[in-house]
Amino acid sequence: MLNTPITRRVLTRAAVASTALSYSRILGANEKVNFGLIGAGGRGKGVMGTFQKTNRINVTSVCDVYDARIDQAQTQAPGAKGYKEHRKLLESKDVDVVLIATPDHWHTGVAIDALNAGKDVYVEKPLTLKIEEGPLIVKAARINNRICQVGMQQRSGQHYLQAKREYFDTGKLGKITLARTWWHGNGAHLQKAPPALATKPSNLDWGRFLGPIKWRDWDPQQFWNFRAYLDYGGGQVTDLFTHWIDVVHMMMGQDNPISAVASGGVYHYKDGRTAPDTINVLLEYPKEWTATFEATLAPGITGAGVEICGTEGRLHITRGQFDFYSKERGAPPITVKSPRDQTIDHVENFLDCVISRKLPNGDVYIGHRSAAASHLGNIAYVQKRRLKYDPDREEILPL
């Protein structure tokens, strides 16, 4: 697939077909949207709570492979039906939209099933586990005429949008040459499974958790902290850099890296993980600028941010605020704080688009391109070589 031009790939309806019958209803502007959750872990319950706060949805259904998580989600959404298999939930006519917050290795399969079943979809980032999955989800969304928002909430964040309008659309930073990003010490990658999970709970379907990936016996750590294993996700690069490279793509109005190099390893946490605990990625873009990502889980360093550097100044942006530093030495920065958590704006934008049928801020194609840029970093890391990439044809070029 990697070496097949995107224009020649056979992405027909059959290529993305599921067995679920397609059903969707046209929603009125003030009508409540029937909502289903697939993947009721930390993020799933959190974002479901954000949807609930909008007062624009009814949670009708929740799904997880682990009954304890279904119970927790039903406590949060009394009356919701519980499912262990996502396709059973998708067969229900009581579901208009789904939130997919499973681990990454299930995103593509569940999203394509949901789109084929006629549901609008909010799917958590990273959109995909592998670079070649992106075009399939985009195609499923377009063929089925469905709204598909990817959980890269910065796209709807007020201070991100303001920074874009005031500093990038106006060219105030001059010629931009470097976008520097970093995310150190992210605790989600260091979670330890509780001792109670040493033996697999009888109400947890391990085979269904593994789903499309190769069978292995119960491993509580892989269930609890899938992020540390490259079979389930892309480590810090697709978990964290996907957010930041998406911010860079948004500000620069470009999403087309032409080369990637990366280096790192499991240098400190020799606990069986396969995802590097320390990683550096460097992408090159055709309009003469580079983007870098640096992340380590080394104890003692934390913090996350993006800094975009131009000849007239630099813009530093985090989830909390942005600061503009002009090129004049000693000039005080201009600071704008974020008014609120970005997820609420992203969820509202999704629900608006479910009614208007316009493309959402974090549309599936945008999600695919930012996931793809991150995957290039991981492929360069695994293959230990500089990759050359054709972003128009979406092909890794031969050496």
Ligand X SMILES: NC(=O)c1ccc[n+]([C@@H]2O[C@H](COP(=O)([O-])OP(=O)(O)OC[C@H]3O[C@@H](n4cnc5c(N)ncnc54)[C@H](O)[C@@H]3O)[C@@H](O)[C@H]2O)c1
Binding residues for ligand X, per CB under 6 A? 38-44, 63-66, 69, 86, 101-104, 106, 124-125, 151, 153, 208-209, 211, 239
Supply the DSSP string of 250-312, one letter for each residue. Answer: HHHT-----EEEEEEE--S--SS--S-SEEEEEEEETTTEEEEEEEE--TT--EEEEEEEESS
Minimum gap (Å) between residue 309 Cβ and ligand X: 25
Q: Which is nearer to ligand X, 120 or 124 (CB)?
A: 124
Minimum gap (Å) between residue 271 Cβ and ligand X: 17
Tokens at residue 129, please? Answer: 């586990």
Q: Which is nearer to ligand X, 111 or 387 (CB)?
A: 111
Question: Of all helices (H) and strands (E), which one includes residue 89?
Answer: helix 86-90
Q: Which is nearer to ligand X, 106 or 289 (CB)?
A: 106
Tokens at residue 269, please? Answer: 């946490």
3-class secondary-structure state, position 4: coil
| Cα dihedral: 83, 39, 234, 278 (round 10) | -140
- Cβ neighbours of residue 360 closer than 8 Å, sequence gap 6 or more: 147, 148, 149, 349, 350, 353
Minimum gap (Å) between residue 25 Cβ and ligand X: 24
Minimum gap (Å) between residue 55 Cβ and ligand X: 22
User: Where does 315-363 have alpha helices with state H?
Assistant: 342-356
Tokens at residue 137, please? Answer: 């989800």
The answer to whether 343 touches 50, Cβ cutoff 8 Å, is: yes
Minimum gap (Å) between residue 341 Cβ and ligand X: 10
Q: Which is nearer to ligand X, 119 or 314 (CB)?
A: 119
- Which residue sits closest to ligand X, CB atoms considered? 41
Minimum gap (Å) between residue 193 Cβ and ligand X: 11
DSSP state of 363: B
Minimum gap (Å) between residue 343 Cβ and ligand X: 7
Q: Which is nearer to ligand X, 211 or 333 (CB)?
A: 211
Residue with tokens 């709204």, as numbered in its chain: 147
Minimum gap (Å) between residue 360 Cβ and ligand X: 14
How far is 377 from 387, CA to CA, in rounded Å? 9
Minimum gap (Å) between residue 284 Cβ and ligand X: 26
How far is 30 from 92, CA to CA, in rounded Å? 22
How far is 167 from 169, CA to CA, in rounded Å? 6
How far is 156 from 352, CA to CA, in rounded Å? 12
Tokens at residue 81, please? Answer: 């039906």
Q: Which is nearer to ligand X, 101 or 138 (CB)?
A: 101
Q: Which is nearer to ligand X, 44 or 377 (CB)?
A: 44
Q: Which is nearer to ligand X, 313 or 367 (CB)?
A: 367
Q: Which is nearer to ligand X, 39 or 118 (CB)?
A: 39
How far is 340 from 157, CA to CA, in rounded Å? 8
DSSP state of 334: E
